[in-house]
């Protein structure tokens, strides 16, 4: 019998919440920790939680392999700095390809942001980061954002207004059954 990769789900810590300049109300913040972050984990979660379009924001340069995937598949992007890209995703194939790139970046210590909502535009999702201040999306109207996800090398943080995802127990229903919930480390 193969052991499933374990994950935990908790309400986010204050330091995680404070690392972003977003309105506290009505967003609930949930953290999902996982030791071995994989494409399947993020792809399944995002696929189960959202419909299209979904927006993915990469702050830093994409590795050569990622650039090749984007060129080969002709994935449209909005370049907002010398090395930042925003993708509007409208298909499962594109979502899976971008999730591959997301995991590669996250495992190398680079955050990736995923947005879902109504009336979002790529140009409004440009992040502003300063070493001593929270990440801010200055042009973004957070009234239009239903859910915002920060992907990092140790898991993901979900900031959501949707009551389908407003507790660790509810979020766990959107994670693939091929992963195992660590109940003792979770707020369930």
Domains: count for the chain:
1
Residue 80 lies in a domain: yes
> Which domain covers residue 75, as residue numbers?
27-185
The reply to whether 4 falls in a domain is: no
Confirm whether 110 is domain-assigned. Answer: yes
- Percent of the chain beyond pLDDT 70? 96
Classify residue 10: in a domain, yes or no: no
Do 159 and 27 form a contact (C-beta atoms < 8 A)?
Answer: yes
| Confidence (pLDDT) at 164 | 92
Domain-located, residue 3: no
Contact 167, 30 (CB under 8 A): yes
- Tokens at 32, concatenated: 């999902």
Q: State how far the Cα of 13 lies from the Cα of 80, in Å rounded to an integer.
A: 30
Which tops the pLDDT comparison, 21 or 157? Answer: 157
**Cis preceding-peptide flag for 35 (omega within 30 of 0):** no
What mean pLDDT value characterizes the chain?
88
Assessment of whether the complete model's pTM goes beyond 0.85: yes
Asked whether residue 181 carries a pLDDT value surpassing 70, the answer given is yes
155 found inside a domain = yes
Per-residue confidence (pLDDT) for residue 61, from 0 to 100: 64
Q: How far is CA 102 from the centre of its chain?
A: 9
- What average pLDDT does range 43-52 have in this prediction? 95
Cα separations in angstroms, 183 against 8, 10, 13, 165, 176 = 7, 10, 18, 17, 16
The most confident of 3-7, 34-38, 59-63, 159-163, by mean pLDDT? 159-163
Q: What is the pLDDT of residue 2?
A: 60
User: Given a cut of 70, is residue 165 above it in pLDDT?
Assistant: yes
Q: What would the pLDDT profile of 92-116 be if each residue is shown by its tens digit?
A: 999 999 998 899 888 888 889 999 9
Separation CA 100–CA 17 (nearest Å)? 26
1 lies in some domain: no
Does the residue 5 lie in any domain? no
């Amino acid at each position: 019998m193969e052991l499933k990769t374990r994950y935990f789900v908790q309400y986010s810590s204050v330091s995680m919440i404070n690392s972003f300049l977003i309105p506290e109300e009505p967003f609930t913040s949930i953290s999902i920790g996982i030791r071995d972050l994989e494409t399947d984990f993020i792809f399944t979660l995002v696929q189960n939680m959202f419909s299209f379009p979904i927006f993915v924001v990469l702050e830093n340069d994409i590795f050569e392999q990622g650039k090749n995937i984007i060129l080969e598949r002709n994935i449209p992007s909005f370049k907002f700095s010398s090395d930042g890209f925003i993708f509007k995703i409208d298909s499962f194939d594109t979502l899976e390809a971008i999730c591959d790139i997301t995991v590669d970046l996250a495992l190398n210590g680079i955050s990736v942001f995923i947005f879902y909502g109504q009336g979002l535009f790529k140009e409004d999702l440009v992040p502003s980061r300063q070493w001593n201040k929270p990440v801010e999306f200055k042009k973004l109207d957070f009234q239009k954002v239903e859910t915002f996800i920060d992907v990092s090398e140790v898991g993901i943080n979900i900031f959501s207004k949707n009551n389908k995802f407003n507790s660790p127990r509810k979020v766990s229903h959107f994670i693939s059954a091929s992963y195992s919930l660590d109940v003792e480390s979770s707020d369930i």
